[in-house]
Amino acid sequence: MRCLTCILILLLYIQTAAARTLKVGRQQAFTTIAAAIAVAQNNDTVLVEAGIYREKNLIISRSIVLLGLNHPELDGEKKYEIITIRADNVVVDGFKLSHSGVSSLDDLAGIRIHNCHNVTVRNNILDDTFFGIYSQLGINCTIENNKLTAYGEAELQSGNGIHCWKSDSMKIIANTVSGHRDGIYFEFVTNSIIWRNDSYNNIRYGLHFMFSHNDAYITNIFRNNGAGVAVMYSHGVKMIHNFFEKNWGDAAYGLLLKEISDSYIDGNYFNENTSGIYMEGTSRLEVVQNVFSFNGWGMKIQASCMDNTITRNNFQSNTFDVGTNGSLVLNSFEQNYWDKYEGYDLNRDNTGDVPYRPVSMYSMIVEKNPAAMMLFRSFITSLLDRSEKILPTLTPENLKDDHPLMKPLPL
């Protein structure tokens, strides 16, 4: 056994000792990156000096480190995909990639990961690329600390910033993404994490999930997008301590949940969105310890939702706390703080003695007739809401919080 261990250590040493550093620059042995990549072997490092390199699509087919000094620029001249990775254990670090090709047929990218394991893309600047970083059948890859900026004006003519398709165990960490169709896009992606990213000013969504299960996104910022985040046709998604801010528009929201189940929404901040959360066809969600403030609607819960639990959240300064489109309610509201609550607490246990009904009559009218918003803050709407509280007729009878909190939770 000791002999086998010694042989393995010796082989590892020989392999490491054989690794080379191939330098690329005007005064170096290689003047083009393509030439250095062509002769590089597994475990070699291709070290690229600062400068502008106009080279047709660079294809990496061996396990190498491609390392830039002072962000050398790879210019796609609006014609080509810039880097394509087709080998496991590749690192691309420290480049500026600009002006990739644009195609309505091919998803050309600044960096493409194609059917690889353990690839790392970090510390890069991607400027004016169609798709930014594209993972296709990637497994256990890390996309970290990259800055991606595009200048798209129309959804159909733009690609996504970080696009992952049929990938698993991805780590998307501390990237900044703006100006794309979707900032971050997951389709058929499982067991992955999106952590500490800033996604803003994107045309459609800051983050978009489709058919992606058992993923988590944590401590991200989604602001000023066409809509904040959309999670669709997925289950087992954990949404924890994110910021959904200033996502305004006729059909905008901080978070859209459509046909998802068995997921967890905890400790998030929904501030200044048309709707903080819009839920349609959801089931078995836990919405816990979130803050909804200064939104048009704190939450919109369609009648197709069931078995969702909304508990211990703060609803403050929203135009409407909750909206719905039907009278059948199969969800539970419990121990939330509502700043519009006017009940009392005789035994001083910080829990209201009478239930709170967060759906107002006026919000039900607006749901069916949006033009009624013209009457917002008028005397007649206040009178309608007051009378509805005394004799409920339009609002759902069982949509209520039986134990509302008297003071906001320290979230």
pLDDT tens digits for range 301-318: 998 999 999 999 999 999
pLDDT tens digits for range 174-193: 999 999 999 999 999 999 99
Dihedral sign (CA 321, 326, 331, 335): positive
Report the predicted TM-score, pTM, of the whole model to 2 decimal places.
0.89
pLDDT tens digits for range 239-289: 999 999 999 887 789 999 999 999 999 999 999 999 999 999 999 999 999
176 and 198 in contact (C-beta within 8 Å)?
yes
pLDDT tens digits for range 128-187: 999 999 999 999 999 999 999 999 888 878 999 999 999 999 999 999 999 999 999 999
Domains and CATH numbers, the chain: 19-225 (2.160.20.10), 236-359+396-411 (no CATH)
pLDDT (average), residues 332-356: 92
In angstroms, the Cα distances linking 320 to 25, 104, 261, 301, 410 are 61, 42, 25, 12, 22
Rg (CA), the chain: 26
- Residue 111, amino acid: I
